[in-house]
Amino acid sequence: MCDSCSRQSVRIRFRRNGSKEEESHLANPSCCLPGEITGQVLKISMKREYYSDTITDFLKAAPNEILGRLVRSNDFALEQTQRDAWLEEIDILKKALRPHEGSVYFEYSIPRMGRRIDVVVITGSTIFVLEFKVGESEFPSHAIDQVFDYALDLKNFHETSHEHFVAPVLIATKARNVSTTISTTPHNDRMLFPIKCNGELLKQVITDVLCFANSDEINPTQWETGRYQPTPTIIEAAMALYNGHSVSEISRSDASAINLSATSDAVSEIIRLSREKSHKAICFVTGVPGAGKTLVGLNIATKHIDKDSDLYSVFLSGNGPLVAILREALARDKVRHEKERGVKFKKSEAMSDVKMFIQNVHNFRDECLVDFKKPPIEHVALFDEAQRAWDLRQTANFMRLKKNTPSFNKSEPEFLISCLDRHPDWAVVVCLVGGGQEINTGEAGICEWIESLNRSYPNWNIYISSHLTDSEYGAERVLEKVREHSIVTNKDELHLSVSMRSFRAEHVSLLVKQLLDLKLDEARTTLTNVKGKYPIVITRDLNKAKQWLKEKARGSERYGIVVSSQAERLKPHAIDVKSPVDPIHWFLDGKDDVRSSYFLEDVVTEFQVQGLELDWACVTWDADFRYTPGGWDHFSFVGSHWNRIRKQERQVYLKNAYRVLLTRARQGMVIVVPSGDSDDLTRKHEFYDSTFKYLEEIGFEKI
C-alpha cells in the first residue's frame, strides 16, 4: 500500500545493466513517482541528475544534507573516496557560487556516452560543465578531452543548450600556478575551449566567463525542460543499449526523422505475432546509409538477451571488422563499469558474454552445419547488412574449398533461413538492408533472400516496406520477386528514409547519391541545404586536408583517412591500401596510440569502415574511379598499370565503395583529389583533374 494515497501497489518491470528483466512492486506511481502506466508496466520518468536545486537553496543546505541526497540517488556501493570527493566539490562550489543565482546539478547523466557530468551550473548567460579531479595537481590531455566531450554533448544534443554559451571547466583541486584562458572555438557556436583551474580560482573563472559571454540570461526551468536528442555512433549506441538504456534515450526524436522506436516496435510486433500464432516470418528493415538500421537490430537483440527465454535473439553480421570492434568496445566498457564499482573483472570474462550477443554470421552458419537437423538456440536472428550475404556461387565455392563440402547447393540467405526453419513452432529472421552497399564479389543483395523464400519456403510470411522503390535496392526486380510470394505484408515503419548519422545535416546521403548518379543540378540544390550545417571541402593537398581535420575536431571527436580498396596509386602520399591495419586500434584507441585513426598514418578502406563512422573524415580519391562527361570510368591497378573494369557487377561494387566512403562522417569531411604527376604514367594529371572539376561544379568549397 502507498501511505500517502492508500492505493494498491502495482508490478513494474525494469532492466539494469543489460540484465534480464526483473520485477518489483511499487505503490501507486501517480503519487509516488513521476511516470505513466501502460498496461501493467510502469514507465518511470527518472531525473537525469542525482541532485539539483537552485543556487540559493544549495548555498543554504548543509553539506551532509546534499550528500545524503546524492547517496540516495547512487545505484552502486558508495566508496569512501567518492563520498569525500562529493564533500570537497560541495565545499568548493559553496564558495564559488555565493554571489550568483541559477541552478546546480550534480552527476548529470549522458546516456549516449554512458557517463555522468560531475556538476552542471546554470547561471547568468552560461552553462558551466564542471569536471573535478579531486586531489590532482595536473591537467592530463585525456581529462581535458573528457570535459570537452561532456560540453559538446550538451551543445549538440540538448535542445535548450544549442544557442547558449557552454563553458567546460576542468578543476584539478591541488594545481598550483594555474593560468586561465577564456576563448571560443572557431565553430561560431558559443562553445568555449576548456578552461583549467583549481578550487580557489573557480569563483574568478565563473565571474570572468560571465563577463566574456555577456548575453541573455538562461532560465534554468526552461533549460531543464529541453529534450535530450542524441545521435550516438554505433559503438556508443551498442554500449548504451547493452547497459540497459532504451533506444528512445539514445536517439533523437524530431519530426524530420522516422522514430527509431517506431521501427523497433514494428519489428517487436512481428516477433510477438509470429510467436503467438506459430508463424515463421522474415522482415526487411531498409534505409539510407546512417539511418539507424544497425541500431534497430541491436535494440531488438538487447531486449531479448536472456538465453533462458524463447525470445532469445542473436545479432549477426558478416562484417568482420564491425563485429570485432563492437565486441571489443562492449568488453572494454564492461570492465570499466566494474572497475568504477570497485569490482575486479577480467576482459576475457566480459568478452565471453559479448560473443554470445554479437556473432559473426559465418560462425553461426558453421555451427548450424554441425547438425543439419538441430535448430539453433535462437528463435530470432537479426542479420546486419543482409545485402552482403553470399550468392550460391560464392557460398558453394567457399564450402567446397574451405569446409570440404563439395555438394553444397544453397546460397547463404537460403541456408540461413533453413537454419531458423528447423524450429518446429516459430521463428523470425530480421534482415537489416542498406541500399547500394554491396561492395564485394558474390554479395547477393536483397533479391536472393526473397528468391530463396519463393524457391524453398513459400509458407514464410514476408514483411517489407512499401517504400522499397529506390534503384539502389534493385527495386524493380525485388518488387517483382515479392509479388510472386503468397504471404506479403507492407509495413511502412520498416523503412528508415532519413540519415541520422550526421546530426548536422540529414541530406548528406542524398547529396552523395546525386553526386554518384551524375545528377549535377540536383546535387547543387541539395548542397545548398547542407552548407552551413555540415562542412564539405575539397582540396588537392593531403597535408591541408589533415590540418583541416585537426582544426575541426574538438575533444575526442574521431577523425581519420578513408580510401577505396582499389586506390593503389596513393603510395606517393604515404597511403598504402595493402598495408595491414587493425580496425580495433584504429577505431577505439586514443590520441596517444600511433595505431589509432588520430595519427592520420594508417588508413581504412570501405571493407573496414562499412557500418561504422567517424566524426570527421578525409576521403582521398584515387584514379580508380574517374569522372567523365559520359559517365564514371572504373579501373583496377594490376602490376604496373591501370586496367579498365568492364564487368558491370564490379563497376557497381566500385561505385558503392565510394558511396560508403562518402557517407561515413557525422560532422563533416574533406575530399582530397591529388594533382597527379606528369612524370608518373600511372598518375597523370588527367586521371584526377576531371574528377576535381566535377566536384568544383557541384559547388564544394576549395581549401
- What is the band of 446 on the pLDDT scale with cuts at 50, 70, 90? confident
Given this chain, do its domains 261-320+359-496 and 508-702 carry the same CATH topology?
A: yes
- What is the band of 293 on the pLDDT scale with cuts at 50, 70, 90? confident
pLDDT of residue 218: 97
From 1-10, 257-266, 342-351, the region with the lowest mean pLDDT: 1-10
78-82 average pLDDT score: 86
239-255 average pLDDT score: 68
Q: Which of 8-17, 37-46, 222-231, 546-555 has the highest mean pLDDT?
A: 546-555
The grid cell for 225 is 525542460
Q: Where are the domains of the chain?
A: 10-44, 51-224, 261-320+359-496, 508-702
Pairing of strands 380-384, 115-123: unpaired
591-608 average pLDDT score: 96
Q: Is the pLDDT of residue 191 over 90?
A: yes
pLDDT of residue 469: 60
For the stretch 322-357, pLDDT in tens is: 999 999 999 998 888 888 777 788 888 889 888 877
508-702: CATH number: 3.40.50
Q: How many degrees, rounded to 5, is the angle at CA 274 between CA 269 and CA 277?
A: 120
From 196-205, 267-276, 328-337, 686-695, the region with the lowest mean pLDDT: 328-337
Quickly list H helices, 437-554. Answer: 446-456, 475-483, 508-516, 520-530, 542-552
- What is the band of 14 on the pLDDT scale with cuts at 50, 70, 90? very low
Give the residue, 649 or 566, on which the prediction is more confident: 566
* pLDDT, mean over the chain: 86
- Residue 460 near residue 453, CB atoms below 8 Å: yes
pLDDT of residue 439: 62
Q: Is the pLDDT of residue 510 over 70?
A: yes
pLDDT of residue 475: 55
- Residue 23 near residue 12, CB atoms below 8 Å: yes
Instruction: Please enumerate, as own/partner, the contacts of 6-14 that have beta carbons within 8 Å and a separation of 24 or more.
Output: 7/31, 10/37, 10/40, 10/42, 11/40, 12/41, 12/42, 12/44, 13/41, 14/44
Which residue type sits at 155? K
- What is the band of 40 on the pLDDT scale with cuts at 50, 70, 90? very low
For the stretch 426-441, pLDDT in tens is: 999 999 987 665 566 6
pLDDT of residue 703: 95
In DSSP terms, which residues pair with 433 in a beta bridge? Answer: 286
pLDDT of residue 231: 80
Report DSSP state, residue 574. Answer: T
Q: Is the pLDDT of residue 286 over 90?
A: no
Quick one: which of 369, 338, 368 has its CA closest to 353?
Answer: 338
Give the residue, 248 or 207, on which the prediction is more confident: 207
The grid cell for 576 is 598504402
Quick one: which of 435, 437, 436, 430 has its CA closest to 491?
Answer: 430
For the stretch 471-509, pLDDT in tens is: 566 556 777 777 888 798 989 889 887 766 667 777 898
Which residue type sits at 232? P
From 214-218, 626-630, 673-677, the region with the lowest mean pLDDT: 214-218
530-546 average pLDDT score: 96
Q: Which of 69-83, 141-155, 217-231, 496-510 has the highest mean pLDDT?
A: 141-155
Instruction: State the Cα–Cα distance between residues 616 and 670, nearest whole angstrom.
Output: 8
Q: Which of 158-162, 225-229, 473-477 has the highest mean pLDDT?
A: 158-162
Instruction: State the Cα–Cα distance between residues 432 and 206, nearest whole angstrom.
Output: 49
The grid cell for 78 is 558508495
Instruction: State the Cα–Cα distance between residues 472 and 244, nearest whole angstrom.
Output: 35
pLDDT of residue 339: 80
Q: Is the pLDDT of residue 319 over 80?
A: yes
pTM over 0.85: no
User: How large a percentage of the chain has pLDDT more than 90?
Assistant: 57
Q: Is the pLDDT of residue 599 over 80?
A: yes
261-320+359-496: CATH number: 3.40.50
For the stretch 375-396, pLDDT in tens is: 998 999 999 988 888 888 888 8
For the stretch 108-122, pLDDT in tens is: 998 777 789 999 999
Instruction: State the Cα–Cα distance between residues 236 and 213, nearest whole angstrom.
Output: 32
pLDDT of residue 390: 86
Q: Is the pLDDT of residue 271 over 50?
A: yes
